[in-house]
Amino acid sequence: NLVSQVTVGGTYVLRNPVGFIDLVKVEERDAEFEVDAFLNHLTRYSSSAPFICKRLIQFFGISNPSPAYVERVVKSYIGGFYTHRGTVFGDGRYGSLAATAAAITLDKESLAPVIDEDPVSGNVREPLLKVIHLMRSLRFERRPHIKLRYGLFDGLRSKIGQSPWEAPDQFSFFSGDYATPGLIASSELVSPESQLLSISNVIGLTNGLFSLHSYGLAVADGGLGPFLTRLPSVGDYSSSVGFLTYTTVNDISDKINDLYTLMTAGRLSDDNKQVLVDAYNYFAKAHGADTGERVLLQLMSALPEFHTWNTVRKTGLARSITPSPPKASNTYKAIVFINLFGGIDSFNVLTPHSNGGCYLYDDYFEARGGDVGVGLTLDEILPIDGSSAGINGCKTFGVNSLLPSLKDIYDEGRGLFFANMGHLHKPCTNKNWLTETRTDLFSHHTMKAEAHRVDAFKEGDGPGVLGRMLDVLEDYGLAVSATSVNAHSIMIDGSPTTGRLSTAMDTSGVPRVYHREFLKGNQQELRLFLEKLHSETQENSGAFSNQWSQSFIDIWNKTDTLVETLRGIKLSTDFSSKAPDIDDISKQMKLVAELIAAKDQRGNGVNRDVFTVYMGGFDGHSELKATMNNRLPALDNAIKKFWMEMKAQGISERVTVVIGSEFGRTTTMNSNRGSDHGWGGNYFAFGGDIKGGRILGEYPLSFTDSPDNPINLGRGRILPTRSWDALWFGVAQWFGINEPTDLDQVLPNSQNFGCDLFTDSDIFVSGQSTISGCGGVVETTDVSLYIPEPRYLTGKEQKDICRIAVLSSSKQLNINPSDSRCYISNQVIQESSSVPGSYEVSGSAVLNFDAYIPKEYIDKKKVNSVAAAASAFAADFVVADAIQITEAPSSSPTGEPTISPQPTSSPTPGPTESPAIEIPDQCLSILDGIRVVSSSSSSSKNFYGLDIGSGIASAGNFFFDSGSWVVLGTGVDIWGNSDSFHYMYMPTTGDITISMFVSSFTANHPWAKAGPMIRASLSPSSAHYSAFVLGSGSFTNQYRQCDGCTSVNDQTGVISLSSVWLRTKKTGNVLESFYKGI
């Protein structure tokens, strides 16, 4: 299926027809051709080359290459050639790595020394590269009698975070778009390698390099090598697999100048150079020249200039430790998330049961392949009460027999299942899920990120749902802490502006920076020099080197304190097991239990803790049952022992554990006796405050793989009926977050699910919260609007429409905005027959109202009006296709305006009271550099109010109320050669567009006027150009061509003014006005 063009008769050109493999007569050749075509499609996709080239540049040491740099490399990647000073690299083929590598390394952005002066140039270097760099530069040699079978390294990944051929998954050791909280993330930069800056990795690398200088490549004192014979003394290399042979001249300046080039590529700062000179002189004098040289090399390997490609500029001050927040008086609570990576087959965790003649078990077992399939037999499941699932005839469900702890906790009333949950952008069906879901479904990497962000449209201030919870709680004054064990998770990262870094720890225990001679007990001679190397830097110093030094100092201090704290913690529970501890999951949960026990001793004490632990290997594409049999016993032991320990600590009611995975799996079996990537899955939560023994959500009523099954997407992929937002909404409330605005900060997309969320009263015994705007009448009404291109509304546009619907309903029905919720469903797009060149997007607005509002209070006509008004939200895309009042705008007004017989050159006798109109704040657009989008009255600083002219009956005013601007005013008229009215205005120059939505208009005079106006000055006789709604039920385009001239208007016919958009626009000296009735 490679695309090729076929010319017929020299006139017609068409592409070759698409071919498919004949499934009746399968030919190996067809399969090879198809795979080849598919691979070519992937590699030549328009975004593939930029993506690959940017990642390769990052691997070469520049985390944030300029777009121009990436573009130059892409050209060589695609063209297959790169020329540098007459030398040609590459063979001309697409994707030539020779040409690409040359383009990266020989580009001016890579070679120019001046680039080093940029504080955000460079990167934090990968740990493995630093180890290899040091060994090569300082001439590592293997001891001759050491056999290759011993290898060089041992447990390298657990010590520094990386090891050859041991990437945790296909996405390598870190994400290319990872950004650390603080300066890097707030500057919209990335630092992929910083994802490895955990406690265990930073200290493991530091100790490993110290050990390499002291003992050679051995295991001693946290060394990176294997254990061979014994623990050696300092300077004894006999127990190593090899050692460094670097030697230099005796002069200290020559030594450092040589190392300056070898270790930092000339980036060593003068300040740190002096620290090295002082350290060498001190240790050589106090302990001998050999010790002085060894310490010099160890300090060289601790330099920020070695660990990053960045320049360092010092202030001369000591670096401050990031302070721990003070503890508040609030009680302690903790959330623990167990991440089962790979997509656990959760329909083999929670299953139907045949007890009572339940039809669903046979349906399940047959869908999973029957007797030769992957479904669980009755002797492989443990029965639980499933009546809460609400499925007729199915009052018993089953839990996988390899997870008896889940059954025990469930039966105890402290555990519950969340049925068929997964990532959703909004409620959808098997008819519209492709339209309403804007993500890379069924991808491990993407769906893990979605499950951990819980922010479908990337609107939140921080990348992780638990991190955003801590942001809010930190604003409340609580002391918070975030810890991931064995694998960093973005779930616990908060807003970059907080600067709060999460802690990543390893199950090998809490390490500490260690040096047997000079950082042990009272022997702390090395401490002063290490602190000076990482002292405070200037604002224009390298961002990455500053980040490394701050991380090093904070981790050093934290671990010294934490080691002493945890030494005093004695758990009541033995976490060991006869089953293998896969991925150290029991050790991970033990460490979490220890940290919880030490909650009052960590820092100044902790009010709120979040933890993530990791267990992988659940990607069961083949031999699913073997995968589950291998891994579930270890998981079960970890859950069982942790639950026992929480009860022993007397803290179980303040700890909630959630067990989840990035997605579920297909309910149908594949040809390898496995299951493939699915969507919806069943997950478990437990804790002492959980209102357990229940199944929340909607378990599938059928596993039939047919179009008639509303949640089956084909191939056994189950469409989730609840989003992750639903679970975390209630958990956030339990954690202490109840204000609607704060819940929106934690879960920015929760409004898109209306009332389809769990509250803390649904999940927890102590829960008392509800969802404001839910529990009462639910109205569904049609919405329709026109857009200039064939596309569906984005999620933000849908939520903007709903925001106006909620605001309008509060005004129309005289209720609070928080008394209703809304989401848009069932989008359909078609070419417009009434507006040529446009497309009509129609759908439904689902409005939920609070339980306290009587049913008879909800006027269906008003609801329809609200929906019609809301569908016209956001003038930038709605009014773009509005009807133009001035048919042929030019440098002067239309030559033959339509003059109404009603208006006269004299003012209307008697003052006319202008009714109040509501102007949604987002809809006032000033396009010459100012855009008013605030949802609070703080925007009023951009506006002024003035009564213009004489005859004003009462002073006018304007104010911001519940998301809208309200303008009040009286006046004689806007007509003739002088005006009398109230003006809410903003001074501006240049081109301007003002768009205004009028949701309703009533008046007691046919010539009452309100609308957007562009005015030359504040003089009553000023030239102006306006679009007005009239009290007569029509509107007019009115203008005065010069100061003191007579007013002119183009009047339209009568239209429905229940909702209308008005726009006035000035481009150069061309003035236009538009309207759009809804």
State the amino acid at position 756 in one-letter form: D
Out of 13-22, 736-745, 889-898, 901-910, give the one with best mean pLDDT: 736-745
Tens-place pLDDT, residues 964-1021: 567 777 788 899 999 999 888 888 888 887 877 776 666 678 888 888 999 999 999 9
Residue 410 has pLDDT above 90, yes or no: yes
Rounded Cα–Cα distance for residues 197 and 737 (Å)? 30
Rounded Cα–Cα distance for residues 581 and 587 (Å)? 8
For helices 289-300 and 270-287, give the axis angle rounded to 10 degrees: 150
Q: Residue 1056: which pLDDT band, with cuts at 50, 70 and 90?
A: low
Residue 923 has pLDDT above 60, yes or no: no
Rounded Cα–Cα distance for residues 906 and 903 (Å)? 8
Residues whose CB is less than 8 angstroms from the CB of residue 567 and which lie 6 or more positions away in sequence, other chains included: none
pLDDT of 610 reads 98
pLDDT of 514 reads 85
Q: For residues 669 and 373, is the Cβ–Cβ distance under 8 A? A: yes
Rg of the chain taking only CA atoms, in angstroms = 34
Residue 298 has pLDDT above 90, yes or no: yes
| Beta-carbon-side half-sphere exposure of residue 1019 (alpha carbons within 13 Å) | 12
**Structure tokens that stand for 448 in this block:** 């893990």
Out of 308-317, 832-841, 1068-1077, give the one with best mean pLDDT: 308-317
C-beta neighbour count of 524 within 10 angstroms:
12
Q: For residues 875 and 997, is the Cβ–Cβ distance under 8 A? A: yes
pLDDT of 272 reads 95
Q: In residues, how long is the chain?
A: 1078
Comparing 1078 with 425, which gets the higher pLDDT?
425
Rounded Cα–Cα distance for residues 192 and 60 (Å)? 12
E strand map for 325-452: 333-340, 350-352, 381-385, 396-400, 415-422
Q: Checking DSSP bridges between strand 1060-1067 and strand 992-998, what pairing results, if any? A: antiparallel
Rounded Cα–Cα distance for residues 1038 and 418 (Å)? 60
pLDDT of 826 reads 83
pLDDT of 373 reads 95
Q: For residues 1025 and 1073, is the Cβ–Cβ distance under 8 A? A: yes
Residue 700 — left, alpha, or beta (φ > 0 → left; ψ -120 to 50 → alpha)? beta
pLDDT of 1053 reads 56
Mean of pLDDT over the chain: 85
Tens-place pLDDT, residues 529-561: 999 999 999 999 999 999 999 999 998 998 888
What average pLDDT does this structure show over 654-658?
A: 98
pLDDT of 921 reads 32
DSSP for 8-20? ETTTEEEEPPP--
Rounded Cα–Cα distance for residues 198 and 279 (Å)? 28
Residues whose CB is less than 8 angstroms from the CB of residue 255 and which lie 6 or more positions away in sequence, other chains included: 248, 249, 280, 293, 296
Name the residue with tokens 């390898």. Answer: 672
Tens-place pLDDT, residues 161-171: 898 887 766 66
Nearest-CA neighbor of 208 among 504, 511, 505, 483?
A: 511
Tens-place pLDDT, residues 471-529: 999 999 999 999 999 877 889 988 866 767 778 788 877 778 888 889 887 888 999 99
Q: For residues 653 and 688, is the Cβ–Cβ distance under 8 A? A: yes
Map residue 335 onto helix, strand or coil: strand
Tens-place pLDDT, residues 91-101: 999 999 999 99
H or E element at residue 300: helix 289-300
pLDDT of 911 reads 32
Tens-place pLDDT, residues 857-896: 888 887 877 776 666 544 343 434 344 443 333 333 333 3
Q: Residue 740: which pLDDT band, with cuts at 50, 70 and 90?
A: confident
pLDDT of 597 reads 97
Nearest-CA neighbor of 159 among 206, 103, 118, 217?
A: 206
pLDDT of 856 reads 84
Rounded Cα–Cα distance for residues 1077 and 491 (Å)? 45
pLDDT of 883 reads 41
